Structures are given as structure tokens and as C-alpha cells.
Amino acid sequence: MKLVCASCGKEIGESPATGYPKGTVSHGMCEFCAKHFLAQIGMPLEEYLDGLEAPTVCVAPNGTIATASRKASEMLGKPALQIQGYAGGEVFECKYARLPEGCGNTIHCSGCTIRKTVMDTLETGTPHHRVPACLERHADDGPKRISLLISTERIGGVVFLEVDSIAEAEPEPDS
């Protein structure tokens, strides 16, 4: 999968993600834009993210994860290589991301609070704070319903998604 800078659009290499159709593009951040970002905030991005209280991921304009804080990596139980360049639903293990259409393209994605909140912040610059969201998460012993409180903020061309709270929720009753 081709990796493109989320900020300037420059091609920056190949992502280790596999199983995507030929021509699929993911986003990260090129060295120039990363340095520009660092100059704006005065410290390395990973150091900045690691200094935040809540687990935080940096989301590129197409919904892929550019990078994540150490707390986010621990919360997700995944090293950086299993986070960077992957779609948000894959990283958070949304059960719908496993459908053939993939994360962001299923009928369920249009109603996803996490996706809608991130995309609104990306498009309008409006930050959101402690938005309640639910995630049907894939697990080896069956789907788990997870309740979250999320916050978003746009900095440059990317969105920081903080997970303010996460807890297993009661399963929905069968219809």
C-alpha cells in the first residue's frame, strides 16, 4: 500500500499493511511536515503525544492512523507497526472493519460516532470533547460492545483522537 503524507500529499513510501487492493493509499507524515509540526509545538510528535494524559492517536485525513501515544498502544495491545498506516476501525478492532468493504465503506460506518466526530473535526476544525460513542469490537470469544468517551482536535492537517474513557458495555438485546 502506498504511503502518502497527510499534510502535503507527498509520496513517502510503502506501508507494511497487507491485504488491500492494488493502488490503495494510506497516510502518514513526511519528514519535512513532521519537522514543521515539531517546530510549531516545540517537541517531537511522539513525545508530545506521550505527554498527554489520555491515550491518543493521530488520524490522517483518510481515517488511517499516522501515529499513536504509548498509552494508546498499550490500551490497544498493539505495537506501533500494527497501528501506523491502518484504518481506525482496524486499529480499534471494529467488527465491521472485517467485512469485505473494509473500514469506512460499510453501511455501518455512516452511523459510526467515532468516524463522524473525527471527520467533522478534520473538515471544520471544530474540536469535540467527551463525546459518547460505542464500538462493536471483534474479540476471539465473540463481539464485545465497548463504551467510549472521545475528544478530537485538529492540528494542521491531522486530527488528534483522545480516548477519555473506555469500558465494556452491556450487550444489546437480540432483536
Mean pLDDT of the region 118-125 = 92
In the 3-class helix/strand/coil scheme, how is the chain assigned residue by residue? Answer: CEEEECCCCCEEEECCCCCCCCCCEEEECCHHHHHHHHHHHCCCHHHHHHCCCCCEEEECCCCEEEEECHHHHHHHCCCHHHCCCCEHHHHCCEHHHHCCCCCCCCCCHHHCHHHHHHHHHHHHCCCEEEEEEEEEECCCCCCEEEEEEEEEEEECCEEEEEEEEEEECCCCCCC
Question: Identity (one letter) of the amino acid at 135?
Answer: L
| Parent domain of 116 | 43-168
pLDDT of residue 11: 80
pLDDT of residue 13: 73
Residue 140 falls inside a structural domain: yes
Residue 159 falls inside a structural domain: yes
The residue ranking higher by pLDDT, 3 or 161, is 161
pLDDT of residue 175: 45
How far from each other are the two terminal CA atoms of the chain, in whole angstroms? 39
Residue 109 falls inside a structural domain: yes
In the structure, what pLDDT confidence band is assigned to residue 56 with cuts at 50, 70 and 90? very high
Choose among 150, 145, 18, 3: nearest CA to 82: 18
Residue 89 falls inside a structural domain: yes
Residue 86 falls inside a structural domain: yes
Residue 163 maps to which CATH number?
Answer: 3.30.450.20
In the structure, what pLDDT confidence band is assigned to residue 140 with cuts at 50, 70 and 90? confident
Q: Is the pTM of this model over 0.85?
A: no
Residue 85 falls inside a structural domain: yes
Residue 57 falls inside a structural domain: yes
The residue ranking higher by pLDDT, 143 or 83, is 83
pLDDT of residue 19: 65
Mean pLDDT of the region 49-68 = 89
Question: Identity (one letter) of the amino acid at 64?
Answer: T
In the structure, what pLDDT confidence band is assigned to residue 31 with cuts at 50, 70 and 90? low
Mean pLDDT of the region 79-103 = 90
Residue 56 falls inside a structural domain: yes
Mean pLDDT of the region 94-122 = 91
Number of domains observed in the structure of the chain: 1
Residue 142: left (phi > 0), alpha (psi -120 to 50), or beta?
Answer: left
Here the cell at position 106 is 460499510
Lowest mean pLDDT among 40-49, 58-67, 166-175: 166-175
The residue ranking higher by pLDDT, 34 or 107, is 107
pLDDT of residue 172: 60
Residue 32 scores a pLDDT above 80: no
